[in-house]
């Protein structure tokens, strides 16, 4: 991201085979350099070769009509998949397909949209001002702000995408990853009624296969017993690696044993008021508004003979895999 946070970023080039590629990338700090080298297997030579290979693949892909090819965008997928070309290209393909198959979830990521703005101002989901001691970006969510009389599961999904798309191009995010914290204390039966099992399965498919996001930890605080059934069903359809990174906490004091409490909003024991975190995120949304809206102009042809969005473990649900993993439980 540019050093001037107030500058509005330009619309990216969507020509799948431009005359000149955008190779501008962010310089990594010492921590991210080590992470990129030791965990992502990144060197300048590997990075340049992989970018060239992925761009050539995009240019020749018959179903990709319009797509970003700038280095920041492609590094989302290459770094997430540790420079495995096959895995990175599959993730990019599924990312593009999911945007077509589920436009109500993944398009119109506009901070000037009244409903999106209302959710941001309510504090439904936002990145915190400071990273943790390992350089990871921390995202905070308050599920209780999703008013079922005003919003749907689609609004919640779009908010997650809005947050993600303001961060995915950030080199520190690509290298160090995310930590997510959700306050579930405000969940009601009305909110749970917004979610269907099909929604969970579709979202899990996307999360498993198409999201260029290195989730390092996922913390749930104050999980009500009425949400456990849905929580355990969700665990059944996400991949094992992510499942093993989920932690549940009864109280904020329990969370503080895992997360530096100075990072989280003041209202939960931290330093900066919730309003400060939200204001900074609101500003970031305006900076990234044009590039995010331009994503809707990418063009990908989804054909019946290709199962871009279908590959996941959700088929196992019918045979009852719920007993094959550690369920969430409250004493």
322-325, long-range: CB < 8 A, 24+ apart = 322/232, 322/233, 322/236, 324/236, 325/235, 325/236, 325/240, 325/243
Residue 313, in any domain of the structure: no
Question: What tens-digit pLDDT sequence spans the chain (331 residues)?
Answer: 443 445 788 999 999 999 999 999 999 999 999 999 999 999 999 999 999 999 999 999 999 999 999 999 999 999 999 999 999 999 999 999 999 988 988 999 999 999 999 999 999 999 999 999 999 999 999 999 999 999 998 899 999 999 999 999 999 999 999 999 999 998 888 888 888 878 888 778 787 788 899 999 999 999 887 777 777 777 777 888 888 898 989 999 999 999 999 999 999 999 999 999 999 999 999 999 999 999 999 999 998 765 554 544 333 333 333 333 345 544 3
Residue 37, in any domain of the structure: no
Residue 279, in any domain of the structure: yes
C-alpha of 218 from chain center: 12
Residue 250, in any domain of the structure: yes
Residue 176, in any domain of the structure: yes
Q: What does R_g of the chain's alpha carbons equal in angstroms?
A: 19
Burial class (CB in 10 A: 0-12, 13-18, 19+), 307: exposed
pLDDT of 206 reads 80
In the three-class reduction of DSSP (H, G, I as helix; E, B as strand; rest coil), residue 234 is classed as helix
| Structural element, H or E, at residue 246 | strand 246-249
Q: Which domain holds residue 194?
A: 108-287
Residue 136, in any domain of the structure: yes
CATH number of the domain within which 216 lies: 3.40.525.10
Number of domains making up the chain: 1
Residue 55, in any domain of the structure: no
Residue 315, in any domain of the structure: no
| Structural element, H or E, at residue 282 | helix 274-287
């Amino acid at each position: 991201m540019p050093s001037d946070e107030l500058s509005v970023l330009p619309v990216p080039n969507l020509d799948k085979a431009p005359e000149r590629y955008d190779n501008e990338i962010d310089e990594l700090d010492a921590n991210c350099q080590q992470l990129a080298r030791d965990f992502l297997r990144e060197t300048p030579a590997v990075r340049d070769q992989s970018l060239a290979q992925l761009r050539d693949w995009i240019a020749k892909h018959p179903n990709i009509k319009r797509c970003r090819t700038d280095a920041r965008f492609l590094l989302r997928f290459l770094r997430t998949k540790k420079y495995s070309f096959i895995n990175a290209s599959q993730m990019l393909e599924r990312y593009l397909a999911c945007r077509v198959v589920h436009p109500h979830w993944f398009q119109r990521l506009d901070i000037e949209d009244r409903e999106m703005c209302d959710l941001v101002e309510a504090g439904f989901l936002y990145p915190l001002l400071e990273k943790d001691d390992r350089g990871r970006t921390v995202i905070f969510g308050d599920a209780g702000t999703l008013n079922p009389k005003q919003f749907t599961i689609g609004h919640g999904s779009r908010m997650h995408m809005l947050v993600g798309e303001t961060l995915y191009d950030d080199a520190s995010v690509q290298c160090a990853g995310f930590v997510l914290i959700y306050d579930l204390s405000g969940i009601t039966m009305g909110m749970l009624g917004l979610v269907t099992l099909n929604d969970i399965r579709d979202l899990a498919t996307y999360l498993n296969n198409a999201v260029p996001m290195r989730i390092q930890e996922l913390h749930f605080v104050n999980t009500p017993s009425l949400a456990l059934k849905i929580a355990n069903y969700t665990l059944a359809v996400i991949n094992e690696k992510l499942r093993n990174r989920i932690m549940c906490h009864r109280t904020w004091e329990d969370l503080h044993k895992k997360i530096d409490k100075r990072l989280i909003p003041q209202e939960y024991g931290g330093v900066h008021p919730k309003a400060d975190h939200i204001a900074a995120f609101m500003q970031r949304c305006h900076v990234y508004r044009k590039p995010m809206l331009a994503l809707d102009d990418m063009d990908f042809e989804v054909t019946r003979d290709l199962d871009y969005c279908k590959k996941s473990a959700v088929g196992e649900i019918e045979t009852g895999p719920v007993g094959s993993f550690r369920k969430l439980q409250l004493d």
